[in-house]
Amino acid sequence: MNAPYPGPDPHYGNLPYGHAPPSHGDIHERLLATPFEAVAPHLRLVLFGGDATGLGGDKLAYSINPTLTAVLAYRLDPGSFQSALLEQRHAQAWAMNKRDLWFSALHNMAYDQYRIDTYPGAPDTASYVVTGLTWPASAHVMRLSDLIAEPMPYGAVAMAPEPNTLICAVLRSKRSAPVIPAMHLIFCDRIIDGVPLTDQLLWWRGGSVSGMPMRPSADGGVQVRQSPEFSYLLDYELPD
C-alpha cells in the first residue's frame, strides 16, 4: 500500500517535526468561525497516497484515482508542514465553492519556496527534482505548468517517492521516453522506509493529473501500465 503523509490520523497533513496537533474540535470550530479573507492565505493542497476511504467522504478532495488523492488543507504553522484537512462544512461556512477554494490554494502555492535540481534524462529531456522548502513538493504536481514554466503541449510526467520530493520531466518528442527509467532511478533512491508516497507514474496534461501503476523491471528499468490515452500519446502524438 502507498504511504499517506505521516501523522496521527487523516485529519492532519505532514508533521515533520513531531509537533502534537491540537484537538480536531478546536481547529475546526476556529476555522468555521473565521472569515474567509483571514483563512485564504493559508490554504494549500496535500497529496495522499493509498486508500482514500480513511479520509472520509466529506473532504474537499480531488481523486486522481482510488489510491491517490489531493486534498484542500489549512496550513496551521508557517514553521512546519502541519495542516488540517478541510471539509464541505468549511466551504459552506465561508460561502465558497470547492473550485474557488482550490484555485486559492494553487495561488498560494505559487509563492511557496522550493529547490529544483536538474538531472540528465533523455537526449532532449531533463529530469527535475523538486524539494519543498516551505511546503511539501509532491503537492506541486497539481500545478506543474507553473512549476516548470515551459511549454508542454504534451504534458509532463512525474513521480513522488515521498511527500517532499517530486521528480518530473516535460514530454517533448518520442526521444523523451528514456527519461522515465532515468526518473525511476532517482525515485528508488528517494523512497523513505521502503514505501513510496505513490508507486505511480503521474501524467499532467492540460490541468488534469492521471496516474499509472509502475514497478521495477527485470532489466533494471521500469514497467508502466500505460493508460490508453498515454499509449496513444507516445505512439501517435509525440513528434519524432
Domain co-membership, 126 together with 81: no
- As for how many domains the chain has, the answer is 2
One domain for residues 118 and 197: yes
Q: What is d(CA 48, CA 12) in angstroms, rounded to the nearest whole number?
A: 11
Find the mean pLDDT for residues 107-130. Answer: 94
* CA 187 – CA 143 distance, rounded (Å): 20
Which of 53, 74, 109 is a domain's end point? 109
Structural domain contains residue 118: yes
Q: Indicate whether 1 belongs to any domain.
A: no
Do the Cβ atoms of 82 and 21 come closer than 8 Å? yes
* Distance (Å, whole) CA 141 – CA 16: 20
Between the alpha carbon of residue 139 and those of residues 99, 168, 217, the distances in Å are: 17, 12, 27
The whole-angstrom separation of Cα 141 and Cα 157 is 9
- Kindly state whether residues 56 and 158 are assigned to the same domain: no
pLDDT band at 218, cuts 50/70/90? Answer: confident
Which of 109, 130, 147 represents a domain boundary (last residue)? Answer: 109
Q: Are strands 125-132 and 83-85 parallel, antiparallel or unpaired?
A: unpaired
Q: Is the pLDDT of residue 22 over 70?
A: no
**Alpha carbon distance 180, 157 (integer Å):** 8
Q: Given this model, what pLDDT does residue 25 score? A: 55
Residue-number span of the structural domain to which 233 is assigned: 114-237
- What pLDDT shows up at residue 10? 36
Summary mean pLDDT of the chain: 88
Position 226, amino acid: Q
For residue 132, being part of any structural domain is answered with: yes
**122 and 221 co-located in one domain:** yes
- Using alpha carbons, select from 133, 142, 187, 180 the residue that is nearest to residue 160: 187
Asked whether residue 149 falls in the same domain as residue 182, the answer is yes
pLDDT category of residue 121 using cuts at 50, 70 and 90: confident
C-alpha–C-alpha distance, residues 42 and 69, integer Å: 20
Residues 152, 226: one domain? yes
Residue 3 belongs to some domain of the structure: no
Residue 22, classified by CB atoms within 10 Å of its CB into exposed (0-12), middle (13-18) or buried (19+), is: middle
Q: What Å distances lie between residue 76 and 6, 82, 201, CA to CA?
A: 16, 6, 30
14 band by pLDDT with thresholds 50, 70 and 90: very low
List, for residues 158-217, the tens digit of each pLDDT value. 999 999 999 999 999 999 999 999 999 999 999 999 999 999 999 999 999 999 999 999
Same domain assignment for residues 105 and 207:
no
Global pTM value: 0.88
Write the pLDDT tens digit of every residue in 41-77.
Answer: 999 999 999 887 777 778 999 999 999 999 999 999 8
